[in-house]
């Protein structure tokens, strides 16, 4: 069931329509990759040392 308060209904409906566990796997991998990229950027900006 799709919640009516979601801002973007298209991607949510697509995840519901696709069969099997693949939508959840793809969403988890995409979220992990995005988190890794954001973490790497934050780490690079935070750990710069000047002398």
**pLDDT tens readout for residues 25-46:** 888 898 999 999 999 988 877 6
Structural domain tally of the chain?
Answer: 1
CA distances from 44 to 30, 38, 39, 47 (A): 21, 10, 8, 6
Confirm whether 15 is domain-assigned: no
The pLDDT, as a whole number, for residue 18 is 73
Expressed as residue numbers, the domain containing 26 is 20-51
Confirm whether 1 is domain-assigned: no
pTM exceeds cut of 0.85? no
């Amino acid at each position: 069931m799709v919640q009516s308060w979601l801002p973007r209904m298209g991607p949510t409906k697509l995840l519901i329509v696709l069969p099997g566990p693949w939508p959840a796997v793809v969403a988890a991998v995409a979220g992990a990759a995005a988190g890794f990229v954001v973490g790497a950027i934050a780490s690079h900006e935070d750990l710069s040392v000047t002398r």
